[in-house]
């Protein structure tokens, strides 16, 4: 209910922690998934989750409700991820967290009955991760929001403060980069 969200925002702006938590619990699962897709590492995602919501809490007094609360939170989350990646150059894929990679691959395996297929899936996943990691932070943000979180490009433009044209351009460049990265795999997959 939008009214209820209004009330929760007003209460949170007066420092009511309970209202704030009620408010953010509506979005924090999606935000965590988004952060994870941006950084590919669950430990770092948890750290960024804390940073994001502490920022939201300290800045909520300045939130004027010109935009949707959800959009505003996502904007903070994306900016925090971009800054985090800037400050931690180790976020390149070549140092991608082995543990997480294995964990996801294990999950992929557990869903498969045939061992050969599971190995293929794990490899495919690893290639996709690598392709996504090769994107610049902004390209990655636009791609992840569009592809995995299914936001429309106009919403993403609003979220990131870019024009529609810029967002389209980021998405196109991201797809072209990944196309090159996944070419071999795509051909294998086809055959």
Partner 1 sequence: MKKCKPFHEWIWLAAYSELDPGQQHQLKAHMKTCASCQLDAEEARQIIGLLDQKPQLQVNDEYLKPDREELHQRLLYIKSRNNTPAWIEKLKSLLLMEYEPWLRPVAIAVSVILGIFIGSKIIPQFNGVTTNAVDIASIQANHNFEPIDIVNYNPTTRKVMLRVYNIQESLVERNIDSPEVQKLLSDALLDADRPNVRLKTVNLMSDIKSITLPLLDALIHALEADTNPGVRMKAIRLLNTLPIQSNTKDLIINALTRALLTDENSAIRNEAIDGLGRFDDPDATSLIINAARKDSNEYVQYKADELTTRSRIERKEN
Binding site for partner 1 (CB under 8 A): 15, 17, 20-21, 25, 28-30, 32-33, 36-37, 42, 45-46, 49-50, 53-54, 57-58, 104, 107-108, 121, 124-125, 128-129, 132, 146-148, 152-153, 168-169, 171-172, 175, 178-179, 182, 185-186, 189-190
- Taking every pair of Cα atoms in the chain, the longest distance, rounded to a whole number of angstroms, is 61
Contact 177, 131 (CB under 8 A): yes
H-helix segments, the chain: 2-13, 17-24, 28-39, 42-59, 69-87, 98-110, 115-133, 137-147, 153-160, 164-190
Of residues 2 and 36, the one with the C-beta less far from partner 1: 36
In whole angstroms, how close is the CB of 63 to partner 1 at the nearest point?
A: 13
In whole angstroms, how close is the CB of 7 to partner 1 at the nearest point?
A: 19
CA dihedral 186, 143, 175, 150 (to 10 degrees): 70
Of residues 2 and 89, the one with the C-beta less far from partner 1: 89
Tokens at 146, concatenated = 């569009």
Tokens at 130, concatenated = 């690598």
Query: Could you report how far apart the first and last alpha carbons of the chain are, in Å?
Result: 50
Of residues 4 and 111, the one with the C-beta less far from partner 1: 111
Contact 46, 36 (CB under 8 A): no
In whole angstroms, how close is the CB of 85 to partner 1 at the nearest point?
A: 17
Of residues 45 and 78, the one with the C-beta less far from partner 1: 45
In whole angstroms, how close is the CB of 88 to partner 1 at the nearest point?
A: 12
In whole angstroms, how close is the CB of 3 to partner 1 at the nearest point?
A: 22
């Amino acid at each position: 209910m939008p009214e209820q969200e209004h009330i929760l925002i007003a209460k949170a702006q007066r420092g009511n922690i309970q209202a704030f938590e009620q408010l953010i619990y509506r979005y924090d699962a999606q935000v965590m998934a988004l952060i994870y897709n941006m950084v590919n590492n669950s430990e770092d995602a948890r750290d960024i989750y804390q940073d994001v919501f502490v920022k939201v809490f300290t800045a909520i007094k300045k939130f004027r409700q010109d935009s949707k609360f959800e959009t505003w939170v996502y904007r903070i989350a994306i900016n925090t991820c971009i800054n985090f990646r800037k400050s931690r150059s180790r976020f390149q894929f070549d140092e991608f967290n082995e543990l997480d990679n294995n964990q996801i691959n294990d999950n992929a395996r557990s869903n498969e009955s045939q061992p050969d297929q599971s190995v293929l899936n794990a490899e495919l996943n690893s290639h996709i991760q690598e392709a996504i990691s090769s994107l610049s932070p902004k390209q990655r943000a636009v791609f992840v929001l569009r592809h995995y979180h299914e936001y429309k490009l106009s919403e993403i433009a609003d979220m990131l403060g870019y024009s529609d044209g810029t967002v389209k351009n980021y998405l196109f460049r991201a797809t072209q980069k990944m196309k090159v990265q996944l070419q071999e795999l795509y051909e294998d997959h086809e055959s």
